[in-house]
A and B are shown apart, each in its own frame.
Chain A
Amino acid sequence: MAEHILLHHRDIPGLDQMDVYEKDGGWATYKRAVTEMTPQAVVDVVKAAGLRGRGGAGFPTGVKWGFLPKDVFPRYMVVNADESEPGTFKDREIMEGNPHLFLEGTAISTYAIQSNVAYIYIRGEYLSTARILQQAIDEAYAKGYLGKNLFGTQYSLDMYIHLGAGAYICGEETALLNSLEGLRGQPRLKPPFPAAVGLYSKPTIINNVETLANVRPIVERGAEWYKTLGTEKSPGVKIFCLSGNIKRPGNYELPLGTPIRYLIEELGGGTYDGTAVKAILPAGASAPMIPASAMDTRMDYEAMVTAGSTLGSASFIILGEHDSVPAAALKMVRFFKHESCGKCTPCREGTYWAQKVLERINDGTGVVPDVELVETIANQIAGKCFCPLGEFATSPMIYTIKHFRSEFEAQVQGSRPRRNWREAVPQRLEPTLAMREL
């Protein structure tokens, strides 16, 4: 690819500086939108471009903006920068390397939804990123891109950064809103959806960082240009995060619809240890694992579903021939168990038991029925959870076993389970925080 769109900072050094960014035509699109376009016109362009949400669900962004109830104000723009999916680091690079592109996109979008405030909810671990972003916001205020009565119009716009406190669940949009309001980070009952009743019970749009980074190019160059990239149903470019057993891990900006094989073999250079690719996790821990046989699948929202997985946040984690699938399953389940918010029963209890059983399988004290037990737990969780994260937690249980059952069975068949494993295996109960006998 000749020129990066989202990762443009790789082409122009110092693009994170205001003057460089301005020289590259930065913030001009925003000024043009506020002074020359109606909010609806902006919405129409984004809708026409067919931009789909890059947070994972792939919902058309323009359509989402259209869900806002008319005549209810104030409205809020909330940016989901709580990038917590294992193996996902695309938003971080945008915010650190090309912060003004993101901020300009956010500003245009906030104008489009007729809001005066944008809250950027950024994960707490991204403290350094947040500092870079805050500096960029300060520069934008200094330059008069943010603040009161912008460009001589009546439009005002403020942006605030809010740091999360380290919870995966707060990437779920309603949990994010709760956290932003100072409540416990747990998802809310839907409906009502945030577009109708969101932050502080007001209409709210929540968009991912990468989604908003696409907005300036779309408004600048037009919907028709944007649709020349990617596929018909998944237009545009996408950043693919490549990690795991791979020679050249990192972010790759590609048009949607590029085959997986191109990403792994041409760009990634194959596995790090030189073995054949065994399995691919296309969206961190959340999406079903796919075997290497699916390497020729095109990376767009539809094709990935056909292949039995989802595109999600497009963070591809690669497993090589020697990598243990049961170990990977345990690692992912442990992640979900650690991040379960505790609101709904299946996720809270199920992930705990699944971790226990997978631990047993992995440390050689499992029994043959344990493999089925993991599937049973997954089925006990599946379809009953409050929010999608509980459902995601079943993927590493179901699909690892589905594609690599023999590895699990080998793990338990070779083991010699103790007669009384309860005594033999130290029960590592989570220390209950500050609990004490009174």
Chain B
Amino acid sequence: MTTLTIDGQVFDVAPGTTVLEAALANRIDIPRLCYHPDLVPSGGCRLCLVEVEGRPNPQASCGLKCDEGLVVHTQSDRLTALRRDIIDLFVSDHPLRCAVCDKNGACDLQRYAYQYGISETAYDFELSRPLFQEDNPFFVRDHQYCILCNKCVRVCDEIVGANAIEVAGRGFTSHVATPFDGPMVDSACVFCGSCVQVCPTAALLPTSRLRKGREWELTRQRTICGYCGVGCGVEFATQGQQIIYAQGYRAAPVNGEFLCVKGRFGWDFAQHPDRLTQPLVRRDLLEPRPPTADGRPLATATTPTEETVTSDGQRSSVGGPPSAVRGRPSGPGVRRPSVVGRPSADFVPVSWEQALDIIATKLADTVKTHGSDAVAGLSSARCTNEENYLFQKLFRATIGTNNVDHCARLCHSSSVTGLGMAFGSGAMTNPIRDIRNADCILITGSNTAESHPVISYEVVRATKLGANLVIIDPRRVPLVDHATLFLQPKPGTDIYIFLAMAHVILREGWADTAFIAGRTEGFEAFEYSVREVTPQVAALMSGVPAELIEQAARMYALGQRADAPSADGRPQTADGSQTDNTDYALRNTQSIARGHSTILYAMGITQRSNGTELVLTLANLAMLSGQIGKPSTGVNPLRGQSNVQGACDMGALPNVLPGYQPVTDAAKRQAVAQAWDLADLPAQPGITVVEMMHAVLAGKVKAMYVMGENPMLSDPNLTHVEEALRALDFLVVQDIFMSETAQLAHVVLPAASYLEKDGTFTNTERRVQMVAPVLPAPGQSLPDWQIVGQVGEKLEAKLGHAAEKAAAWRYTSTTAIMDEIARVTPSYGGIHHHRLSGEGLTWPCPTDDHPGTPILHTAKFTRGLGKFHAVPVNLPAEQPDADFPLILTTGRILYHYHTGTMTRRSEGLNWRESRGYAEVHPYDAEQAGLRDGGPALVTSRRGQVRTQVRVTDRVPQGTIFLSFHWKEAPANVLTQDFKLDPLAKIPEYKVCAVRIESPKAAAQGKQAAGAVEA
């Protein structure tokens, strides 16, 4: 500790603390304009000057490290005069139009001008920088108000890593600019708005905020973002029933102040006119019509040409004729689903009473006629824990089936399975905030900067602090710009790289032998399994140079930093070259302290037909290097949706009850049954998402209840999905919009969005956080927990169960539901709403006084010993061939989320990226005669999609990339569902064989084929 004196008070501070930090931590206010606690001090504003005894000149406290015995004065006549001078100079170039300024009351300059009594300037010249830029729908830039504190520039560089802006010009003509002063959209800007967040004046303002009320007139509500699984805290400023703007807040445990474009600007979907506001029932359900020739009454209900006409006669903003060529390329019986945003004329609004009655009757009938297992349900990773809990309880307790699953099946089921097998617990082992302190970060199969932007900020921060970043990905994802090593394997061959890394770690003696001996089992079989996978073999198979694999293995296993001080390069001995010496030194590694390495991965690993094996391989690497169970280490699956972790935790999975208690474990099952006042629960694991579709067509499942999911875009082989959903006797969809799936439903129930209800979300790092309503739910829409509760109540009655059973469904609040969850879920045993007000709690949290468990497996693994698995090499199920020579890989883009139901109704997000596109390597584009921006047809064995070409080297040659957000170009028409991961049942979204051609060439090809036939 360092001792210093500030204004006569003596403080002990940690070494390296700056005087400003020490003062602020002890509630001594020093004026400052360019300081931000998360940024490297700039020292440019000169306002934080303090006097230090023994030094003649005042010093900027933001850059002044606390030295032992430093005596600092923050207030003196001299300093006041100095600060007045500086503020005067700021004001000299800043319009004091506070009365009409949107930042009035929240402006730092205004605050200091007030404090130091500066009301006007001595310089009555014309003001400079008369520039107002409004070139994007998210924020405006008004350079007149800019005080050049550089915080926006620094946050863009140091936190976000986008480097979209920099100060251009010099001296007085400096201004914050994009490259060549072009529009924001042409820069590297990711529109996260972090610059807006840190701007001390009105130079950067959210567009939605302009002229919408003064700061003190707005109501503020903190909640958790409902997009990806990072679980960022967002503060919404509202006036009346309108959101004015959203921002981050420092106390948010995951993200601090920083958000991504979706979290900060993507909330306007909630007030979109397309929102469902009343229960709808298909007309022919109320007035039965004679079935058509093919015996399917529903198939005629929609036609491909149906226009999207709303009640006010306008075309829906996201509707329009489908541009995709759906279904099989040719052949009879191809149906095209309608692509509409709002209820069509086929639906009739009904009362809640009537809708619930129909649902209860239909479901009860199905159960009675076909048995409980003829009903299946899809729960939602975007609904709260409470809602997911009720949904699976509805299926298990009331209907009596385990046929409940949700989209985690399609994203991280292989993580849950694989990490469960290796460690005993299938979730992120370490908190997100740990990442910034890691020495080496290995990211594989994750486009972190686009899918989990706020986690990528942590990665960027770590690299700025000197960490090594190793990226293994077939695509050149944006974070590669910050990486030390980029290994670009051919899609599907990454397994070789992981095995070869293990091989190198063993060969070089970098393994953590003590950890392996004390904490793990199954090592011998694993060691044997990698003995022949040398880096050379891996290089041959994956196309990644062996040398890179060896370097990656060293960095990861030893947790090496990029900025590690080296004693090499001494001129007299070694000619300045470091590599020889370093290599030599590292072979005797046992004496060298091992740094902290962490693995981040996402769907590039899991959405594979050998996803579980890949996850096991990563777990092997972590155990081999002892990089688990400590801060800033671990194996961390980044989860995709706001509450996908929670939905799994709540047992919205066919094989486990809440808290991952297997349905096959009689004791645990009966304990839950008892809590639910039942003798027992179904013991047979239910069917998974993809299996449900197969089961429907096989006639085993007759009715489905879908809560907040959209399998009509998200599931593989959509043609097949559509066939299945149309074949159902009864389909209930509960959603906030008329999704593609809802279009096929018999009953559509309007639900409240995450902005309109309370409850809890569990984020990807297992942190349970409170969600609070920001807006009232529109129309008659209700929170999902209330809807499920009412369905449960009605259904119990229709099934003829005891009256108490129905009464038990009358939950008064989400708090009560959470208390019930705590009773039946051991890992949530101590989690109650009243404990979640601050930073939330991280499960496992078994008792009411348990502080939560941010890091898993610290002393021992959840399953006892960590288990090494000998993993065989399996390649993707579908390999390119002569007909389908390219590999298609799918994923997400920054501006859209999942099936686009929300983001495509957000004005700004849709403005930034309004059409789907295929990323094609320049070579492949040339081969196929495609031009950038031109149309293309992508065809697989299962279907065809028409989309736009984006020629880019982000994808390697031989691979094309499609995102799956677009109903007009649904990538999942192409993906395969025939080979699932045998354990996790996850489909292989990441690899399938396709061909790409220009529509013209395709037409000519067809003609030519026709000519030959003729």
Contacts and interface: CB of A to CB of B under 8 A. Distances in A.
B90 A349 contact: yes
B90 A189 contact: no
Interface string A372-390: 0100100110011110000
Q: How large is the interface on B (under 10, 10 to 19, 20 to 34, 35 or more residues)?
A: 35 or more
Interface stretch (B57-65, B332-340, B900-908): B57-65
A9 to B, nearest CB: 31
Interface string A167-179: 1000000000000
Chain A: number of interface residues, binned into ranges:
35 or more
Contacts of A432: 128-129, 131, 169, 173, 175
Contacts of A340: 170-172
A114 interface: yes
Given A71-B567, A74-B576, A349-B90, A385 B46 contact: yes
Contacts of A184: 166-167
A77 to B, nearest CB: 11
B129 A380 contact: no
B953 interface: no
B310 interface: no
B419 to A, nearest CB: 38
Given A156-B576, A432-B129, A201 B172 contact: no
Given A116-B575, A429-B126, A349 B172 contact: yes
A338 to B, nearest CB: 7
B93 A349 contact: yes
A345 B44 contact: yes
A346 interface: yes
Interface string B26-58: 000000000000000111111101000000011
A353 B131 contact: no
Interface stretch (B117-125, B638-646, B728-736): B117-125
B365 interface: no
Nearest to B126: A427
B575 A435 contact: no
A342 interface: yes
Given A344-B46, A383-B82, A386-B43, A339 B57 contact: no
A437 interface: yes
B44 A338 contact: no
Contacts of A416: none
A152 interface: no
Main secondary structure of the interface of A (DSSP, over half): loop
Interface in B551-575: 563, 565-575
A227 to B, nearest CB: 29
Interface string A396-408: 0000000000000
A126 interface: no
Contact of A380 (B89, B135, B575): B89
A221 interface: no
Contacts of A346: 46, 85-86, 89
A342 B123 CA distance: 19
B168 A433 contact: yes
A74 B58 CA distance: 34
Given A189-B42, A349-B172, A383-B58, A438 B134 contact: yes
Contacts of A74: 569, 576
A216 interface: no
B183 interface: yes
Contacts of B571: 39, 73, 111, 114-116, 154-156
A151 interface: no
B181 A353 contact: no
A425 to B, nearest CB: 10
A148 B576 CA distance: 11
A353 B41 contact: no
Contacts of B568: 73
A341 B170 contact: yes
B46 A345 contact: yes
A201 B466 CA distance: 11
B15 to A, nearest CB: 14
A433 B90 contact: no
Interface in A337-366: 337-353, 356
B19 interface: no
Interface string B111-143: 000000000001111101101111100000001
Given A73-B570, A184-B166, A383-B57, A342 B171 contact: yes
A389 to B, nearest CB: 11
B201 to A, nearest CB: 13
Contact of A341 (B133, B171, B180, B565): B171
Nearest to B180: A434
A206 to B, nearest CB: 19
Contacts of B570: 73, 114
A434 B143 CA distance: 14
- In this complex, which of A184, A379, A432 has the most chain B Cβ atoms within 10 angstroms of its Cβ? A432
A429 B148 CA distance: 18
Nearest to B43: A189
B181 A116 contact: no
Contacts of B171: 337-342, 347-348, 351-352
A341 B167 CA distance: 10
Given A201-B563, A353-B123, A436-B181, A345 B172 contact: no
Interface in B167-189: 167-175, 180-181, 183
A187 B147 CA distance: 18
A356 B125 contact: yes
A280 to B, nearest CB: 27
A68 to B, nearest CB: 12
A23 interface: no
Of A74, A345, A383, A384, chain B has the most CB atoms within 10 Å of the CB of: A345
Contacts of B131: 432, 435, 437
A191 interface: yes
B43 A342 contact: no
B63 A189 contact: yes
B173 A430 contact: yes
B89 A345 contact: yes
A422 interface: yes
A29 to B, nearest CB: 18
Contact of B86 (A191, A338, A341, A384): A384
A353 B43 CA distance: 22
B88 interface: yes
Contacts of B150: 343
B134 A429 contact: no
Interface string B139-173: 00001000110100000000000000011111111
A401 B885 CA distance: 81
Contact of B181 (A71, A427, A435): A435
Residue among A167, A191, A349, A435 having the largest count of chain B Cβ atoms under 10 Å: A349
Contacts of B167: 184, 342
B869 to A, nearest CB: 42
A430 B130 CA distance: 12
A156 B89 CA distance: 51
A376 B123 CA distance: 11
Contacts of A1: none
B575 A427 contact: no
Contacts of A427: 125-126
Interface in B566-603: 566-576
Contact of A348 (B126, B148, B566): B148
17 contacts: A39-B571, A73-B566, A74-B576, A115-B571, A189-B42, A189-B60, A189-B63, A338-B171, A342-B148, A346-B89, A348-B171, A348-B174, A350-B89, A373-B122, A432-B129, A435-B129, A435-B131
Which 6 pairs between the two chains have the least Cβ-Cβ distance?
Answer: A340-B171, A342-B174, A73-B569, A352-B172, A380-B85, A349-B89
Interface of B: 41-47, 49, 57-58, 60, 63, 65, 82, 85-86, 88-90, 92-93, 122-126, 128-129, 131-135, 143, 147-148, 150, 166-175, 180-181, 183, 563, 565-576
Given A352-B171, A385-B46, A422-B125, 13 more contacts: A74-B576, A114-B570, A156-B571, A344-B43, A345-B46, A346-B86, A379-B85, A380-B89, A422-B124, A429-B126, A432-B173, A433-B173, A435-B175
